[in-house]
């Protein structure tokens, strides 16, 4: 009976292990999320975007695609902002760009001093543009969402030019002006396209950090 009992226990353990493997998409993300957000919260303060931030972010994101890479990486608001800036403009941010970013609650905020007319924003605002100068501080608030392997989007939820808070209904009209990149299929009306390595599977924003998770669907990238 002892042998039979031990055999029965072994079968139960094998069944449990198999069930855990098959449902790993449900519980693994939760375990990883608790680990990833266990770091001490960072204060919500504006940080300038730098070339060094862009390089660190690029290296961290690329590590998710390596065979021996981590399951997730944490980025600060400045690091993510620098990564997004480079993905959109094709270059690292320079001090002259006066670009800053921060993570507040579940959103990433980015602001910069820009010429609104060059972006075509004043034309889209119509009479509202009368309260704005030629150069204003443009502030975007939103979060990063993975659309599919290799493509994410910065989903803009709030937009402010100078002291003017842009109405939510106008944001989809202005978002395409924020990037010269073509808009791939699957993008939301308020999404700015951001090219990412295929190894990025999910993104979470919390506690002052942006956590990028390794893709469990595609596996590691050689």
Domain ranges in the chain? Answer: 27-214
Give residues with Cβ within 8 angstroms of 48, minimum separation 6: 78, 95, 98, 99, 100
pLDDT of residue 43: 80
pLDDT at 23: 41
Identify the segments of the chain with pLDDT beneath 70: 1-40, 217-222
Specify whether the CB–CB gap between 77 and 103 falls below 8 A: yes
Q: 15 CB contacts (<8 Å, ≥6 apart)? A: none
Q: For residue 217, what pLDDT is reported?
A: 60
pLDDT of residue 28: 46
Q: Please give the pLDDT value at position 39.
A: 56
Look at the pTM and tell me if it is higher than 0.85: no
Element (H, E) at 11: helix 2-22
- 136 Cβ partners below 8 Å, 6+ apart? 113, 114, 116, 161, 162
Tell me which residue of 192, 195, 210 sits closest to 86, measured CA to CA.
Answer: 195
Number of residues assigned to the chain: 222
What pLDDT, on a 0 to 100 scale, did the predictor assign at position 25?
44
Digit-coded pLDDT (tens) for 59-73: 999 898 888 889 999
Q: Please classify residue 132 by burial: count the beta carbons closer than 10 Å to its beta carbon, then call 0-12 exposed, 13-18 middle and 19+ buried.
A: middle
Residue 27: per-residue pLDDT: 43
């Amino acid at each position: 009976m002892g042998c039979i009992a031990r055999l029965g226990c072994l079968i139960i353990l094998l069944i449990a292990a198999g069930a855990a493997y098959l449902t790993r998409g449900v519980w693994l993300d939760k375990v990883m999320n608790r680990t990833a957000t266990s770091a001490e919260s960072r204060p919500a303060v504006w940080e300038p975007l730098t070339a060094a931030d862009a390089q660190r972010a690029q290296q961290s994101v690329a590590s998710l695609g390596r065979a021996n890479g981590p399951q997730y990486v944490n980025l600060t608001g400045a690091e993510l902002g620098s990564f997004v800036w480079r993905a959109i403009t094709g270059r690292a941010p320079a001090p002259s760009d006066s670009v800053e970013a921060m993570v507040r609650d579940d959103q990433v905020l980015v602001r910069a001093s820009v010429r609104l007319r060059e972006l075509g924003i004043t034309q889209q605002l119509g009479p509202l543009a009368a309260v704005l100068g030629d150069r204003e501080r443009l502030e975007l608030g939103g979060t990063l969402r993975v659309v599919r392997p290799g493509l994410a989007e910065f989903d803009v939820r709030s937009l402010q030019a100078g002291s003017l808070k842009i109405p939510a209904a106008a944001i989809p009209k202005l978002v395409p002006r924020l990037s010269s990149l073509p808009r791939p299929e699957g993008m939301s009306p308020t999404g700015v396209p951001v090219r990412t390595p295929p190894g990025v599977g999910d993104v979470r924003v919390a506690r002052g950090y942006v956590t990028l998770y390794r893709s469990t669907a595609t596996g590691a990238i050689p």
